[in-house]
Chain A
Amino acid sequence: MKQRRFENCHAEEWHAFAARLDRLERRPQPGAPGPLAVAELPAAYRRLCQHLAIARSRCYSDSLQARLNQLALRAHQQFYRPHPRRWQAVLDFLTADFPRRVRADARLFWLCAALLVLPLLGMALAVYRAPELIYSLLSPESVADLETLYAPDRAAPDRAASTDLAMFGYYIRNNIGIGFRTFAGGILLGVGAAFMLVLNGVFIGAISGYLTARGLTETFYAFVAGHGPFELTGIVLAGVAGLKLGWAVVAPGRLDRADALRRAAADGVRLIVGVAALLVLAAFVEAFWSSNRAIPTTIKYAAGTAGWVLVALYLSRAGRRAP
């Protein structure tokens, strides 16, 4: 069959097919012929695939092949689209899937925890022994800021609610940004993620060591007790997600590197969604609870302990039983 006859035979069908695709893509063309019924779409798609194959094997002209290819591609995207996600799926993820994934990577979790905690303790001890070491990390102005921030007799007894909201925004942007960067940095053979963990450990350790040496323990530890469990766990888990990427590139096992990376990224991104949830919680606690000086110190320590227990129970127990 010659090309023109082929085109004339099927022109009407292709127009109706295109009109249906326009509708599905929510940009109907005015004055288009009547679209195909949705029920007829699969059969029509298979016919179109056959037409494209014929056009190719008969070497019909480029423009006809391009036109049929475009129609088939658009239909392909309508057929093979992801299922829409329901809210139930989000809930299932947080109550079961996320802790399960963390447990599946338990060894990596402890490795990342060590990467954060060991530099933290080492630095805390070092700065506690020799407080002037803090100046190798922070400028004198930042150190002075720290001291006024945690001074027990600070003039303002309570922050205004608007300041709390401003700090909430700051923690959201800063902390979740750090979590995301830790994950992304993992693709550089894991170095980026490990670096972020160590860096965070060093800074947190130095600041706590310094404030302890200066005797500002009461205000400082009461402040960090509340959000610490969620924030530190979140950072460690961001490291897990990042190291998974790096490990896939370093040691892909029996897969080829690209496939290993894709699988690790698919796992890692689910962890990082959970991390984001943890860090939102941490930011909320930090902004509205930790900063509230009206709450007695003992209650804050109790809440901090409860937070650790809660995180440990959640990550070790949640999702063990099938729903």
Chain B
Amino acid sequence: MPQPMPSLLDTVRRIETPEGIELSLRLAGPVPRALAWVADSLIRYGVLWGLLMVLATLGGGGFGLWLIALFLMEWLYPVLFEVYVDGATPGKKALGLKVVHAGGAPVDWPAALIRNLLRAVDFLPAFYGFGLVAMTGSRDFQRLGDLAAGTVVIHRDPPAKIPPPPPGPALPPPAPLDLVEQRLLLDFAERGSALNPARQAELADLLAGFTGLRGQAGVERLRAHARWLAGEPP
């Protein structure tokens, strides 16, 4: 099966399902995960601060309850959210991240506990030092907790939609194209609108020998060929 994607360079994990197909998981790197952690920390300590204000009015007993809340927030906040709320703490949700098993299934209690208890070591010696080293050393951006639990953090949604290419005439290409070449034209037409016109023309000029046209005319011609390849009426 032709696969024009350079998967060695891509942060994608491919998993094979029992149905015999391959699914792609889009792995999340250290930066969005660190931002999610910051967001979660703000939420956690905000809630704890609010609780302290309320429970302080109850005296010593209230302080005991607050310490229990502190314990739960420190250790079990991420576990409960990851198990019961779609694999994501509020911070992860805000950044479109999600925790799943390396095989693509949702996380369960043991896995969520392992990855979040081992946070204590990933955090060492300061600000996730060990975690970062483990992540850069592992193929799937796994910190120590992820390695032990067999989990990965992925982007929940596919990348943002690019506006569809404008409609227009469809033209058969001047020579037969193999599947990989067809895919190249389809992707150019589909993703070209995310590039500025000068860059589009520059890319189209690479195929000037194929279309016989340069600049904007070349771009239009490649789009017309892509429409024909996709099966639009001429």
Show the binding face of A for B, using Cβ within 8 Å: 1-6, 25, 45-46, 49, 52-53, 56-63, 66-67, 69-70, 72-73, 76-77, 80-82, 85, 160-170, 172-173, 176-177, 180-181, 183-185, 187-188, 192, 245, 258, 261-262, 264-266, 268-270, 272-273
Q: Tell me, yes or no, whether B97 is within 8 Å of chain A by CB.
A: no
List 24 A-B residue pairs with CB atoms under 8 Å apart, sorted by A's residue number.
Answer: A4-B230, A45-B19, A49-B19, A59-B186, A61-B186, A62-B183, A62-B191, A67-B158, A73-B25, A73-B104, A80-B105, A162-B64, A165-B60, A169-B68, A172-B67, A173-B68, A177-B71, A177-B74, A177-B75, A180-B117, A188-B121, A266-B110, A266-B114, A272-B113
A268 to B110, CA, bound (A): 10
Chain B stretch 1-28: residues in CB contact (< 8 A) with chain A: 1-4, 17, 19-25
A265 and B114: CB pair below 8 A? yes
| B61 interface neighbour in A2, A60, A161, Cβ under 8 Å | A161
Contacts of B61 in A (CB 8 A): 161-162, 165-166
Beyond A59-B182, A187-B118, 12 additional pairs, beta carbon < 8 A: A3-B229, A6-B231, A61-B186, A62-B190, A77-B104, A82-B106, A82-B108, A165-B61, A173-B71, A183-B117, A268-B114, A272-B113
Q: Does B119 contact A (CB under 8 A)?
A: yes
Q: Residue on A with the closest CB to B75?
A: A180
Residues of B within 8 A of A185 (CB): 120-121
Cβ-defined contact, B231 with A169, below 8 A:
no
Contact B117 A81 (CB under 8 A): no
Q: Is B132 part of the binding interface, using a Cβ–Cβ cutoff of 8 Å?
A: no
Specify which of B59, B65, B106, B230 is in contact with A169 (CB 8 Å cutoff).
B65
Q: Are B186 and A169 in contact (CB under 8 A)?
A: no
Chain A residues near B204 (CB, 8 Å)? none
A170 to B159, CA, bound (A): 46
Give the docked Cα–Cα distance between A59 and B4 (Å).
9
CB contact between B183 and one of A5, A61, A181 (< 8 Å): that residue = A61
Q: What is the distance, in angstroms, from B118's C-beta to the closest C-beta of chain A? A: 5
Interface centre among A1, A58, A269 (most CB of B within 10 A): A269
Residue of B nearest to A241 (CB): B117
Residue of B nearest to A160 (CB): B60
Q: Are A80 and B60 in contact (CB under 8 A)?
A: no
Is B86 in contact with A25, judged by CB distance below 8 angstroms?
yes
Check A3–B106 contact: CB distance below 8 A: no
Among A46, A56, A59, A85, which residue has the most Cβ atoms of chain B within 10 A? A59
Q: From residue B71, how far is it (CB to closest CB) to chain A in Å?
A: 4
B43: Cβ under 8 A from any A Cβ: no
Are the CB atoms of B231 and A76 closer together than 8 Å? no
Q: How far is the CB of B222 from chain A (nearest CB, A)?
A: 14
> When each residue 50-67 of chain B gets 1 if its CB lies under 8 Å from chain A and 0 otherwise, what string results?
000000001111111111
User: In whole angstroms, how far apart are the Cα atoms of A108 and B62 in the complex?
Assistant: 40
CB distance from B188 to the nearest CB of A (A): 10
Determine the chain B residues whose CB is within 8 A of the CB of A168 once the complex forms: 64, 68
Closest beta carbon of chain B to A43's beta carbon, Å = 12
Per CB-CB distance, the 9 closest pairs between chain A and chain B, nearest first, are A2-B231, A169-B67, A169-B64, A82-B108, A162-B60, A165-B64, A265-B148, A162-B61, A59-B183
Name the residue on B nearest A67 (C-beta): B158
Known contacts A57-B1, A258-B147: A181-B120 contact under CB 8 Å: yes
A176 to B62, CA, bound (A): 20
Closest-CB distance, A163 to chain B (whole angstroms): 5
The answer to whether A172 and B21 touch (CB under 8 A), given A2-B229, A59-B179, is: no
Q: Does B100 contact A (CB under 8 A)?
A: yes
Q: Are B68's CB and A184's CB within 8 A?
A: no
Residue ID in chain A nearest B161 by CB atoms = A63
Task: Give Cα A62–Cα B161 distance, bound, in whole angstroms.
Answer: 11
Contacts of A6 in B (CB 8 A): 231
B224: CB under 8 A from chain A? no
- In the complex the two chains form, what is the Cα distance from A172 to B105 in whole Å? 33
CB-CB under 8 A from B183, the residues of chain A are 59-62
Q: Identify which of B19, B70, B180 contacts A59 (C-beta below 8 A).
A: B180
Chain A CB within 8 A of B49 CB: no
Q: How far is the CA of A76 from the CA of B106 in the complex (A)?
A: 9
Query: In the complex the two chains form, what is the Cα distance from A205 to B119 in whole Å?
Result: 30
Expressed in whole angstroms, the Cα–Cα distance for A172 and B65 within the complex equals 10
Residue among A168, A170, A265 with the most chain B CB within 10 A?
A265
Interface string of B75-95 (1 = CB under 8 A from A): 100000000001000000000
A5, A57, A183, A187: most-surrounded residue (chain B CB, <10 A)? A187
B residues within 8 A CB of A173? Answer: 67-68, 70-71, 74
Q: Is the CB of B24 within 8 A of A3?
A: no
B152 is an interface residue with CB less than 8 A from chain A: no
Contacts of A177 in B (CB 8 A): 71, 74-75
Query: Are A3 and B230 closer than 8 Å at their CB atoms?
Result: yes
Q: A162-B61, A177-B71 are in contact. Are A169 and B66 (CB under 8 A)?
A: yes
